[in-house]
Amino acid sequence: MKLNFFNNLVEQKLLTTHTCYLGKVTRVNGSYADVQPLSLIKAFSDANGKKQALLPNVPISQSVTEYVEVGAVVICVCSERDISQTRHGQFALPSQRRHSLSDSIIIGCLNGKSGTSEDDVTITKEEFRVMLTA
């Protein structure tokens, strides 16, 4: 019985530790976008999943800003700590929040602007560009 409790406890912690996910852009406002995570969530005993909450005002990395548009599938990473203050370039003591969806940053775009198709993966950096085509 104790083993199940600890296994469930570990599983629950892993489910709430966010690292990287794919999302769909629903709105773009300058260097920020609203993102709908594409992976569904469900309870252990539930057979059906449900959508995660829409994430408003996710910062877009400068290296991919030109590719992000409404409907684009984007690659988002979650910071280890709260980025509320540090994303503006300020030093700050972070809150206790860790690996939260609230601390997402868009770092890539799977199918945005510039003539890419759904089969293309574009990863950009200021000095170089890699395009993988199926």
pLDDT at 125: 54
Of the candidates 101, 65, 68, the one whose C-alpha atom is nearest the C-alpha of residue 83 is 101
pLDDT at 121: 60
Q: 24: which 2 tokens?
A: 């769909």
The residue ranges of every structural domain in the chain are 17-132
Global pTM value: 0.67
Contact 17, 10 (CB under 8 A): no
pLDDT digits (tens, 9 = 90+) for 67-115: 999 999 999 988 866 767 666 677 766 667 665 777 888 999 998 775 4
DSSP letter at 51 equals P
